[in-house]
Structure 1
């Protein structure tokens, strides 16, 4: 059995003002920041609001042991926008790397974890977010990086 949540890839913090947040992090020595690298087209894409998803603004910083992501959601309805409106800025999700996204999603289903968003590319890379906030305090994600 492949461990689902063992290899932390990133921590994603939802912020109200991406530029202001980046400036603050840089002021305390965290960076450099880069735009989230959009990968190739998805052959499967099931998200709550595709328009909102496309309008999300992200910046990333590769640290020694994981990637820090900042996300500014648009005003459009999305899980990230609802989180920001209801809870304020903070950690929205933890992203874990998986060698086999399909198997990871099957294992999560066997554990009773419901999918809230997912996307797959032809090469098997992609992401899957689970409805874990009530139990874990954050949304958990598994992903496979596109190479």
Structure 2
């Protein structure tokens, strides 16, 4: 991993959320665009060598709308930079397998 590419934050309204980042935090708003395939409007905010993506749903069947309904506004995802996506994916899969194995082992310890 070479760092964080961007952090996706789900919000109900870009209009209400943007002033926090551009005003209070004094970050630069790069652009806003609609991503039809994901059913979201995205505001890109510059954070030095990374970005924040504010994600506003454009449809009630958007994944972001479902996230907001279930969890409220907040971090939706973190995207990392890498030169080798396959190796990064395999690394994460191995970590998940280890975590699942350890969880199962802990449960076995407490079975009487």
TM-score (norm 2): 0.67
RMSD: 2.8
Query: If you compute each CA radius of gyration, which structure gives the higher value, 1 or 2?
Result: 2
Q: 1:68 aligns with which of 52, 64, 68?
A: 52
Determine whether 1:94 maps to 2:78.
yes
What is the total number of aligned residue pairs between the two structures? Answer: 97
In the TM superposition, residue 74 of structure 1 has moved relative to its aligned partner by 2.3
Q: Report if the CA contact (8 A) 2:30-2:46 is conserved.
A: no
Of Structure 1 and Structure 2, which has the larger fraction of its residues in helix? Answer: 2
Q: Deviations over 1:118-139 (max 9, x none)?
A: xxxxxxxxxxxxxxxxxxxxxx
Please state how far the C-alpha of 1:72 moved relative to its aligned partner: 0.6
Residue aligning to 2:43: 59
Query: After superposition, where does 1:77-92 map in structure 2 within 5 Å?
Result: 77-92=61-76
Consecutive unaligned residues of structure 1, counting only runs of 5 or more, are 39-49, 114-147
Could you list the runs of 5+ residues in structure 2 that have no partner in the other structure?
A: 98-112
Structure 1 contact 52–76 (Cα < 8 Å) conserved? no
CA distance in 2, matches of 1:106, 1:37: 32
Q: What is the aligned counterpart of 1:34 among 22, 30, 36?
A: 30
- Return 29-38 or 74-83, whichever deviates more: 29-38
CA distance in 2, matches of 1:14, 1:98: 24
Offset at residue 29 of structure 1 (A):
4.1
TM-score (norm 1): 0.54
